[in-house]
Amino acid sequence: MRLGHAGEKALQGLVKQGLLKGAKACKLEFCEHCVLGKQTRVKFGTAIHHTKGILDYVHTDVWGPSKNASWGGSHYFVSFVDDFSRRIWVYTMKRKDEVLKIFLKWKKMIETQSGRKIKTLRSDNGGEYKSDPFLKVCQDEGIVRHFTVRETPQQNGVAERMNRTLLEKVRCMLSNAGLGKAFWAEAITYASHLINRLPAAANEGKTPMEVWSGKPCTDYKYLHIFGCPAYYHVRESKLDPRAKKALFMGFSTGVKGYRLWCPDEKKIVVSRDVTFDEAAMVNQNKHEGEIEATKTMSSSKQVELLKTPVVPVRSDITDTSPTVDSDEDEEEAPTQEPPQQQDSIAIRRSRREIRKPVRFTDIVAYALPVIEDDIPSAYKEAVRSSESVEWKKSMDEEMKSLHKNETWELVQLPKGKKAIGCKWVYAKKMESLGKDNVRFKARLVAKGYAQKEGIDYNEVFSPVVKHSSIRILLALVAQFDLELAQLDVKTAFLHGDLEEEIYMSQPEGFKVGTAENPADMLTKPVSLLKFKHCLDLIGICQIC
């Protein structure tokens, strides 16, 4: 007790080390306080029922309520699992009190088909299983009841694990099909059909249907991807389409036909004449994978350009419906209540579908013709090119136009002022078809990005005509039979006046003056300069 109710192994260790003088190693007596303070749950062992045949031992469980009602209004489902074969039956329900009605219906069907009786039924302590009517039915039919201990779902592990497997498949199928949660009932019904035809570990690799019927499943061709596009045959007028598009939901009970969800009519239809387009879903998933792979590669490294010769471009070149085998008809598929009419349907599509395709971006770039570009990007490149004479002439014309408009005045840069830079921009304009008649164009532009708001300029404004104004003007001309004239003001940008005091460095190749720090004080705006454009700079007011 002095050691705080230490365990037996800890005390024996201290005795062996001789730390507890006068104490001997012995088995501790029962201590009520240790039990009250240290009690744990007993380890769960592997339950083995040693069933010798089908229906000797049946596990059942109810799942729900689901926050999302199915299109038929279901919030629950009940499952029955045969312990010997691990075959499963699933039924959807709107309320929990439907369990007894479904059990009686399932019991009568399964005992008639198999010729055997249910001997033992295992469930939890839910009120739907321990109600007086349910207990009386089991007592009258001679069915032994096994219940789990309260708050111990591990004792009903077969049914609980089967429900987990069902829900895992449902989530996968809904995600793959891009459908909303309202389709969970259809998905769980089809999932149970698939589980009965998949090998089970408890059956040593055999399928539940094989153990149940003694016949192996040999045909899987009739199975299709849940939610895949399906076109079912319709007979309307002679000029109407012969098929409508729907989505595959599974199979219909007792009918050799397919259950299809028709989005246009918002209901389930059953048809045997169906053509499936599973490739659409396969290609969609493959395409999404390619998009992710392409984005990953693009972010890690740039694609190397193909080393192919570049040719300059001249400017003057302009399913039929498979039937289900009789072996598959032996299974009684869960009965789905008819879907209730909804005001609207909102089938959730995968958000990945809205991504822009990028996997052909590089291929398109390679396929596009490359135009030969011999236009210089800087002054030094222009004067060193084979067309330096033409570029020099175009720069002289630009400077002549700037001097004529008295764009700047050469001064010494005042202290505390900073001159913004300028650069030459070059272009070629075709006067007519052919490469012989080319006009060389050079324009001096200011590096307006170097201007600071509040220092070099206060307000930026540029009037732009609206298309509606042009339409009104044209309408008035047509209405009153007027004459419409169009004019173009050459270098209209240079006709404005600057309100701010702005200094610009001299253009490259045209520097003059011997002052220590010469600069051009602008009196007129230069291209790419930030300033407030005035409406009267091109004489609009005088024209009006």
DSSP code string of 357-401:
P-TTHHHHHHHSPPPP----SSHHHHHHSTTHHHHHHHHHHHHHH
The answer to whether 243 and 233 have CB atoms below 8 angstroms apart is yes
In a domain, 317, yes or no: no
In a domain, 370, yes or no: no
Residues 457 and 522 in one domain: yes
Residues 144 and 271 in one domain: no
* CA pair distance 396, 510, nearest whole angstrom: 9
In a domain, 1, yes or no: no
pLDDT at site 360? 65
pLDDT at site 540? 43
Q: What is the CATH number of the domain that holds 121?
A: 3.30.420.10
Task: Report the mean per-residue pLDDT for the chain.
Answer: 76
Residues 439 and 534 in one domain: yes
* CA pair distance 101, 108, nearest whole angstrom: 11
The mean pLDDT of 60-70, rounded to a whole number, is 92
In a domain, 201, yes or no: yes
Decide: residue 245, CB within 10 A, 0-12 exposed, 13-18 middle, 19+ buried: middle
Residues 110 and 188 in one domain: yes
Going by pLDDT thresholds of 50, 70 and 90, the confidence category of residue 189 is: very high
pLDDT at site 227? 93
Report the interhelical angle of 132-141 vs 99-114 (nearest 10°). 20
Q: Which of 67-71, 213-217, 350-354 has the lowest mean pLDDT?
A: 350-354
Residue that finishes a domain, picked among 213, 245, 260: 213
Backbone angles phi, psi at 2, to 5 degrees: -60, -30
In a domain, 50, yes or no: no
In a domain, 83, yes or no: yes
Better pLDDT: 308 or 152: 152
Residues 28 and 134 in one domain: no
The answer to whether 266 and 342 have CB atoms below 8 angstroms apart is yes
Residues 389 and 417 in one domain: yes
The mean pLDDT of 289-309, rounded to a whole number, is 48
* CA pair distance 196, 385, nearest whole angstrom: 80
The domain total for the chain is 4
Residues 261 and 383 in one domain: no
Q: Distance from CA of residue 187 to its chain's centroid?
A: 21
| pLDDT at residue 474 tops 80 | yes
Residues 161 and 263 in one domain: no
* CA pair distance 241, 379, nearest whole angstrom: 68
pLDDT at site 219? 84
Provide the residue count of the chain: 544
The answer to whether 93 and 77 have CB atoms below 8 angstroms apart is yes
Residues 199 and 243 in one domain: no
Tens-place pLDDT, residues 398-438: 888 888 887 778 888 888 788 888 888 998 887 655 556 78
**Other beta carbons within 10 Å of 217:** 18
pLDDT at site 386? 87
Residues 121 and 145 in one domain: yes
Residue 407, sorted as left (phi over 0), alpha (psi -120 to 50) or beta, turns out to be alpha
Q: Which of 49-53, 231-235, 363-367, 540-544 has the lowest mean pLDDT?
A: 540-544
Tens-place pLDDT, residues 454-464: 544 545 555 67
Residues 112 and 235 in one domain: no
pLDDT at site 317? 38
pLDDT at site 414? 81
In a domain, 267, yes or no: yes
Residue written as tokens 């909804």?
342
| pLDDT at residue 191 tops 50 | yes
| pLDDT at residue 544 tops 60 | no
Q: Which of 47-51, 91-95, 431-435 has the lowest mean pLDDT?
A: 431-435
CA angle 15, 20, 25 (to 5 degrees): 35
The answer to whether 197 and 216 have CB atoms below 8 angstroms apart is no
| pLDDT at residue 241 tops 70 | yes
Q: Which residues contact 352 (CB under 8 A, 6 or more apart)?
A: 288, 291
pLDDT at site 320? 39
The answer to whether 275 and 243 have CB atoms below 8 angstroms apart is yes
| pLDDT at residue 330 tops 50 | no
* CA pair distance 348, 413, nearest whole angstrom: 67
Better pLDDT: 11 or 404: 404
Q: Where would I find the beta strands (DSSP E) of 310-374?
A: none
Range of the domain at 172: 57-213
Residue written as tokens 């089809």?
190
Residues 438 and 405 in one domain: yes
Farthest-apart Cα atoms in the chain, separation: 128
Tens-place pLDDT, residues 101-127: 999 999 999 999 999 999 999 999 889
In a domain, 383, yes or no: yes
